[in-house]
Structure 1
Amino acid sequence: MSNVHDIGTDLARLRSGLKSGDGGGTFEGMEARVKHLEDDMKEVKADLKALRSDVAELKGRVAMLPGYGGIAVIVGLIVALSTAAQIAARFLPPAG
């Protein structure tokens, strides 16, 4: 088998335009399609920028939440106050 390739056939095929894709099989409309894709990418980039801002805000909010130690302290205070109220209620005279 020969490694010789007829470039004339390839040139004729290329000069006739694209033979696949969504542009009707030609180079016509390529600029409009590329422009549309570029505009879409601008919108995607803008959306990504907004998402980054939202994620940064959420990170800030999560950082302000108490960790396990803070939750343990809060639960401990609730238990202590509840216990103190029950003990105080035993020493108060009945209402009425």
Structure 2
Amino acid sequence: MNVWLTIFGMALVTYATRAIPLLTLRSQPNPQLARFLSYVPPAIFAALIVPALFAPSGSFEAGAALYAGLFGVLVAWRSRNMAITIIAGLAAFALLQILGVA
């Protein structure tokens, strides 16, 4: 019973965190809020990627991940498109792995 209560509680919390903003915000969000929220995806992306680039095994190593990440930064700077950046970074990483760059 305790497991089901925990699952139900987490479902309720998850639903509430998604429903409350939808129910309380007006049809058009505040321009300041919209501007703030526009920075969330790149910040989350960076928080997930940067540790894996600089310390994939727990300590700094300059390997395929770091080089592909630097290439991804260059592509992002030139294209300003997250999808193209991800695809280019993955392709660079795969190529470096095939070439044996550790």
TM-score (norm 2): 0.26
Structure whose residues are more often helix by fraction: 2
The structure showing larger relative contact order (alpha-carbon pairs under 8 Å, at least 6 residues apart) is 2
Q: TM-score, normalised by structure 1?
A: 0.28
